[in-house]
Amino acid sequence: MRIIKIKMGIAFFLVLTLLSCSKDGGSSSSDPVIVLGTPFASNASSITDNSFTANWVVVPEAESYLIDVSTSNNFSNFVTGYNALEKTGTTAEVMGLSPGVSYFYRVRAKQGNEVTNNSNIITVTTTGNQPEDPTYLKVKANALPNPFYVGVAVKANQLTDGSSYDAVLKNEFSSITAEYEMKMNPISTGSGSYSWDAADKIVNYGNDNGINVHGHALVWHNAVPDWLSNFSGTDAEFALEVKKYITDVVTRYAGKIKSWDVVNEAVDDNGNMRSTIFLQKMGANYIKDCYQWARDAANAAGDTNLLLFYNDYATSTNIPKQNKMFTIVDDLMTSNLIDGVGFQMHNTYLSPTKEQIETDINRAVALGLKIHVSELDIQVNQNNDITYLTEERSLAQKEKYKEIVKIYNALPDANKYALTVWGFKDNESWIPYSTDLNHPGNDWPLLYDNKFELKEAHTGFLEGLD
Ligand code: G3I
Domains of the chain: residue spans and CATH: 41-125 (2.60.40.10), 137-464 (3.20.20.80)
Cα of 223 to ligand 1 centre, how many Å?
A: 9
Residue nearest to atom 11 of ligand 1 (CA): 180
**Contact between residue 214 and residue 418 where contact means Cβ atoms under 8 Å apart:** yes
Query: How sure is the predictor about 354, in pLDDT bands with cuts at 50, 70 and 90?
Result: very high
Question: Using the 8-state DSSP alphabet, how is residue 426 labeled?
Answer: G
Find the length of the chain: 466
- Rounded to whole angstroms, the Cα distance separating 5 from 2 reads 5
- Cα dist. 440→87, 319, 428, 433, 434 in Å? 67, 27, 16, 5, 7
Centre of ligand 1 to C-alpha 88, Å, is: 64
Q: What is the pLDDT of residues 7-62, one digit of tens each?
A: 444 444 444 444 443 434 344 556 666 689 999 999 999 999 999 999 999 999 99
Does residue 430 have its Cβ closer than 6 Å to ligand 1?
A: yes
393, 457 Cβ separation under 8 angstroms: no
Which residue from 420, 430, 435, 446 has its CB within 8 A of the most atoms of ligand 1, so it is best to mutate? 430
Residues taking part in catalysis: 265, 375
What does pTM read for this prediction?
0.78
Residues 137-168 have pLDDT tens digits of 999 999 999 999 999 999 999 998 878 898 89
Distance CA 146, CA 241 (A): 41
Give the DSSP per-residue string, 415-453: GEEEEEES-SBGGGSS-TT-TTTT--S----SSB-TTSP
Ligand 1 atom nearest residue 180's Cα: 28
Distance from the alpha carbon of residue 209 to the mean position of ligand 1, in angstroms: 25
Rounded-to-integer distance, Cα 38 and Cα 143, Å: 50
Ligand 1, pocket-test mutation among 179, 263, 321, most atoms within 8 A of CB: 179
Count CB atoms within 10 A of the CB of residue 325. Answer: 24
Residue 6 has pLDDT above 70, yes or no: no
